[in-house]
Every structure is written in C-alpha cells, then in structure tokens.
Structure 1
C-alpha cells in the first residue's frame, strides 16, 4: 500500500477534519503504543499501520 492510498482511506473513514488529528493522537497497541504518525516516522509499512487502524476502528472486512 502506498502512503497516498493510506491517507485516502483515513480521510474516507474519519473525515477531512478529523483524520489527521486521530493519526497524531490515537495510540495503537498493535503498533507498540505508537500513533499513526509515530509509526510512519519509525518506518513501519503503511499496510501494517492500516491493519492496526482497521482493527481499532472496527471496520468491515471488505475495508481491510
């Protein structure tokens, strides 16, 4: 998954006004307690980050 696709999915599911805030403030246990922004800075693959976001948001299987 490319970073642009990742951010588009985030925007789709969280909305224009909230997705960046969520990415900077919500800690994900499956990413070692990192936020999305911290995980990206640490070089974690976007697909891995998306799976953590998908689980945290309890999105449908088709969105995985």
Structure 2
C-alpha cells in the first residue's frame, strides 16, 4: 500500500477506508480480526484499481 498511496497516506487509508468486500471493515480492522493478509490485499488491490503486476 505504501507504494500505491505513499508512506503517510497508506496507513490512514487502511484505518479509515471501509471496504464492502471485507464485510464493511477497513483493512486494519479486517487484519486485526484475523483475516488473512492475502485476502485483505486482494480487496485493497481491487478497490484501488491497481495494475495486475501489483496483485
């Protein structure tokens, strides 16, 4: 996320942006709840519309 959003903004985005694909949780909330990092990253990747090379 740092590469896509920048060091400072990535953490803020991960804590505050709610993703429907993560059950209405932020990336941070999903990780704290035990969701696999790979699942969270795929949701973030899709939400941000990142290129397939970042998948």
TM-score using structure 2 length = 0.95
Query: What CA distance in whole angstroms lies between the structure 2 residues aligned with 1:62 and 1:25?
Result: 25
Match of 1:54 in 2: 45
Q: Which ranges in structure 1 are unaligned for 5 or more consecutive residues? A: 1-9
Name segments (4+ residues, structure 1) moved above 6 Å: none
Higher RCO (Cα < 8 Å, 6 or more apart): 1
- What secondary structure, in the 3-state scheme, does the structure 1 residue paired with 2:18 have? coil
- Alignment RMSD, CA only? 0.6
User: Aligned residue pairs: how many?
Assistant: 55
Q: Which ranges in structure 2 are unaligned for 5 or more consecutive residues? A: none
TM-score using structure 1 length = 0.82
